[in-house]
Structure 1
Amino acid sequence: MFDIDRWQEIIHTLKSNKLRTFLTAFGVFWGIFMLTVMLGSGTGLENGIYRNMGDFSTNSAFMWTQKTTEPYKGFEAGRNWNFNNGDTKAILDNVAGIDRLAPRIQGYGGDGATNAVYGDNTGSFSIFGDYPDWNEVDPLTITEGRFINEMDIQRRRKVVVIGKRVKEILFDKGEEPLNKFIRINGVYFQVVGVFKSKKTGQQADNENQNVHIPFTTLQRLYNYGDKVFWYAMTSHKTTSVSAVAEEVMEVVKRRHDIAPYDDQAIGHFNVEEQFMKVQNLFTGINILIWLVGIGTLLAGVIGVSNIMLVVVRERTKEIGIRRAIGAKPVKITNQILMESLVLTASAGWMGLVFGVGLIELINSAMGEGSDFFSNPTVNFGVAITALTILIISGVLAGMLPAKRALRIKPIEALRTE
């Protein structure tokens, strides 16, 4: 294999018709190039989608109330209703598969516009009343201080955790916000933490303008009584959150005299279901990418095989002379296979390198600003798989020409003009 004369002969053969060699190699180059770029792009799209969903627990679900759509037990359809503190206790007491349950309310009945003041700086932000578990279900990155804790809930403390953008608006550059007091609708709250969103794009911008205070504090401050606007929940790892969510809805509907078959009375978002849909989508995309990429690569390999057949036909006399002077069939076969392998592997390797290079260029150009495209890399396993495909393809491309060469009889070859 490392015979220098053999390698010189291979290079001479490939250089003898440069245009033909180039066009043949380009088919293989393009096949592996497209496979690499499509796989990298698929990974980038997948990473972007997952990053945009943030670090939601995959076993989580969210619920909120909506108008009833079915009459039941004397109540007409179209009834407005709310979750309440009693529902929280009933859910925890009756739904065994639930791991965390985090109620939430929002300032001014959910319209989101709440004025905040610090010194001469003012802003309008979304204010939420939360339990500590909310940050476990829909996590935030705490950059300073802490999130709400159980003592805040029990004592109804007037403390606040503010988003990154809230800090930038209310506090001067370089000013430390922790332990400072900001006024929200005439009530002073002590800043105990600052966070930034784990999401991307517009979702991150919106979340960074949120303000979180203890659930019990907000509930009393705005005279909400025992109302709850949302629930966030997670299930135990051994339990499907879809099953848990169904149980929760059954418990709540029973408590509020809502028809069991009223599917519109409770709005819900199941993260587990969404993740499964995304996973299935990208499994299908990856299968399609491999089929298209390998199909394109095979077209190039077939081109290599056809060209090698032409080469064998052109070198019929040469092969006959070699056979006549005692060249072993295995040496002639190896020569044809090596030429095919060198042509396929070199073109494919260049396609792989150029494909990875383009992916890295796209990655650098896109930066961190894209909502749905992030880190479009080609992993090591894919590169090794592509390289293996190249080697196998090169051998397969040379097998038919090699067999054709072995069928050449020395006497007939010597008569060939």
Structure 2
Amino acid sequence: MFDLDRWHEIWITITHNKSRSVLTAFSVFWGVLMLVLMVGSGNALEKGIFSQIEGFATNSCFFEANRTTLPYKGFRKGRRWNITNSDIPVIKEKVSELQYISPMLFSGGNEKNVVRGDKNGSYRIKGCYPEYDLIEKSKMLYGRYVNDIDIAEKRKVCVIGERIYEVLFQKGEDPTGKQVRVNGIYFQVVGVARSTSGVNIGGETAETVVLPFSTMQQAFNQGNIVHLLAATAKEGVPVKKVQDQILEILKQQHQVSPDDKDAVWTMNIEEQFKMFNYLGIGISALIWIVGLGTLFAGAIGVSNIMLVTVRERTKEIGIRRALGATPRNIIGQILSESVVLTVLAGLLGIVLGVGVLRGAGIVLSQGDQFFKDPQVSFGMAIGSLLILIVIGAMAGYIPAQRAMMIKPVEAISEE
């Protein structure tokens, strides 16, 4: 049953010495405020980190040929070699866990190498298979990505980045079917792409012209050379397994020593993703350790003040005991005062913290910031409230024990 008199008495006790109550509550308020702000900032940082790899296949790996560093089968160290077209069918045949594979070619952004009429710019050129769009996903603003027919027929088509479109075309103009000159050769635009990820291989999607891989090889006299090889593992298969198998095949195909660690540069995106994940866990753990430490420091302050309060109310407590108040009543009263003071301060800290995060989120949403939507979950707020109740009870336990040990006769006679 709700005891109105008891809660009224708690309120009178807390407001009897306003300055002391405010100073006591401030330590808890500050601790909760810092915890909310740190958790919200940590969430924003984590979202910012993961937004950079959103849209990029985290089950992917990449390979590039480097100079050999060990002699092997009559070849000297320091030999140059290249990944070639013939490696791709061998990899597809021998690596059963392979999901997608795409060879890639790159060409630097020469001075004004992309031209349409009197408009031009210097941009990166990239040749790849249609499968690459399943690794580094693009959002098509117009048209489509390169497809298998483009590869088979070596069509002179291209996909231009969003920034290139803005430079070469009028706003709102449909560029599909129009011609642009890339490194002196005319290509028909079949699509305009926007990046969905902060990870870009071979240049930013917005400032890159994508050509069918076979077309780029032929048009720019690249022979059968592959600059970079991209591959993904099937769902549930560790990327490391596919990565090791492809490394072994490439070395076998090109007479490279199995012990040569530097002859093939390789990058495992899954491992990079795990590093980001561990970083997020570490940041969250550090935030909670610091935040809870601050809260417990506040709880110690509450406990000390409650001890002073109990000492000041020694005579009052003695009279209560003499009138029949049980130890349970006395302990309940002190604990209630401690919990109420702690929870009120904590709730104020939560409300202010959420408000600050909300305001910061509105400001950050105005631009493309690394911090994304700083906020705390409803579950975290409820969890914080439960922690506050526990901390309040802990802070009041020792003062409550002290109050229970007061003997009525000694308390009444105390001046």
Query: 1:193 offset after TM fit, Å?
Result: 1.1
Q: Tell me, what secondary structure is at the counterpart of 2:122?
A: strand
Query: 1:139 offset after TM fit, Å?
Result: 1.1
What is the CA–CA distance in structure 1 between the aligned matches of 2:379 and 2:70, rounded to whole Å?
A: 54
C-alpha contact (below 8 Å) 2:45/2:370 kept by paired residues: yes
- Structure 1 residues 15 and 306 mapped into 2: Cα distance closer, same or farther (>3 Å)? same
What is the CA–CA distance in structure 2 between the aligned matches of 1:368 and 1:146, rounded to whole Å?
A: 30
The one-letter amino acid paired with 2:3 is D
What is the CA–CA distance in structure 2 between the aligned matches of 1:378 and 1:342, rounded to whole Å?
A: 23
Q: Tell me, what secondary structure is at the counterpart of 1:339?
A: helix
Aligned position for 2:379: 381
Say if 2:403 is the partner of 1:405: yes
Please tell me the root mean square deviation across aligned C-alpha atoms, in Å. Answer: 1.9
Aligned position for 1:328: 326
Aligned position for 2:14: 14
2:270 equivalent among 259, 269, 272: 272
What is the CA–CA distance in structure 2 between the aligned matches of 1:189 and 1:251, rounded to whole Å?
A: 35
Q: TM-score, normalised by structure 1?
A: 0.94
Say if 2:202 is the partner of 1:187: no
- Structure 1 residues 203 and 103 mapped into 2: Cα distance closer, same or farther (>3 Å)? closer
Q: Identity of counterpart residues, as a percentage?
A: 47
Query: 1:53 offset after TM fit, Å?
Result: 2.8
Say if 2:226 is the partner of 1:247: no
**Matches for 1:42-57 after TM superposition, within 5 Å:** 42-57=42-57
Q: TM-score, normalised by structure 2?
A: 0.95
Q: Tell me, what secondary structure is at the counterpart of 1:327?
A: coil
C-alpha contact (below 8 Å) 2:193/2:205 kept by paired residues: no
1:258 equivalent among 251, 256, 259: 256
C-alpha contact (below 8 Å) 1:102/1:231 kept by paired residues: yes
C-alpha contact (below 8 Å) 1:48/1:370 kept by paired residues: no
The one-letter amino acid paired with 2:45 is L
What is the CA–CA distance in structure 1 between the aligned matches of 2:202 and 2:367, rounded to whole Å?
A: 11
**Matches for 1:115-264 after TM superposition, within 5 Å:** 115-200=113-198, 206-264=204-262
What is the CA–CA distance in structure 2 between the aligned matches of 1:189 and 1:88, rounded to whole Å?
A: 26
- Structure 1 residues 3 and 32 mapped into 2: Cα distance closer, same or farther (>3 Å)? same
1:152-198 deviation digits (Å, cap 9, x = unpaired): 11111111111110100110223221221212233222211111112
2:304 equivalent among 303, 306, 312: 306
The one-letter amino acid paired with 2:100 is R
What is the CA–CA distance in structure 2 between the aligned matches of 1:54 and 1:368, rounded to whole Å?
A: 20
C-alpha contact (below 8 Å) 1:345/1:394 kept by paired residues: yes
C-alpha contact (below 8 Å) 1:201/1:370 kept by paired residues: no
Query: 1:11 offset after TM fit, Å?
Result: 1.6
Structure 1 stretch displaced more, 173-182 or 123-132: 173-182
What is the CA–CA distance in structure 1 between the aligned matches of 2:114 and 2:365, rounded to whole Å?
A: 33
1:128-158 deviation digits (Å, cap 9, x = unpaired): 1111110111111222211111111111111
What is the CA–CA distance in structure 2 between the aligned matches of 1:204 and 1:100, rounded to whole Å?
A: 18
For these two proteins, the number of residue pairs brought into alignment is 414
Query: 1:364 offset after TM fit, Å?
Result: 2.4
Q: Tell me, what secondary structure is at the counterpart of 1:213?
A: strand
Aligned position for 2:393: 395
Structure 1 stretch displaced more, 155-164 or 362-371: 362-371
Q: Tell me, what secondary structure is at the counterpart of 1:133?
A: helix
Unaligned runs of 5+ in 1: none
Query: 1:35 offset after TM fit, Å?
Result: 1.3
Q: Tell me, what secondary structure is at the counterpart of 1:208?
A: helix
Query: 1:297 offset after TM fit, Å?
Result: 0.4
C-alpha contact (below 8 Å) 2:56/2:197 kept by paired residues: no
Query: 1:369 offset after TM fit, Å?
Result: 3.9
Q: Tell me, what secondary structure is at the counterpart of 1:76?
A: coil
- Structure 1 residues 178 and 55 mapped into 2: Cα distance closer, same or farther (>3 Å)? same
Query: 1:5 offset after TM fit, Å?
Result: 2.2
2:314 equivalent among 313, 316, 325: 316
1:280-327 deviation digits (Å, cap 9, x = unpaired): 222122112111111110010111111111111110111111122223
Aligned position for 1:3: 3
- Structure 1 residues 96 and 201 mapped into 2: Cα distance closer, same or farther (>3 Å)? closer
Aligned position for 1:60: 60
What is the CA–CA distance in structure 1 between the aligned matches of 2:248 and 2:369, rounded to whole Å?
A: 37
What is the CA–CA distance in structure 1 between the aligned matches of 2:152 and 2:185, rounded to whole Å?
A: 19
1:59-88 deviation digits (Å, cap 9, x = unpaired): 111111112122212222222221111111
1:85-113 deviation digits (Å, cap 9, x = unpaired): 11111111111211111111123xxx343
C-alpha contact (below 8 Å) 1:368/1:374 kept by paired residues: no
C-alpha contact (below 8 Å) 1:32/1:297 kept by paired residues: yes
Query: 1:412 offset after TM fit, Å?
Result: 1.1
Unaligned runs of 5+ in 2: none
What is the CA–CA distance in structure 2 between the aligned matches of 1:85 and 1:310, rounded to whole Å?
A: 82
C-alpha contact (below 8 Å) 1:197/1:204 kept by paired residues: no
The one-letter amino acid paired with 1:306 is N
Aligned position for 1:83: 83
Query: 1:368 offset after TM fit, Å?
Result: 5.9
Structure 1 stretch displaced more, 373-382 or 17-26: 373-382
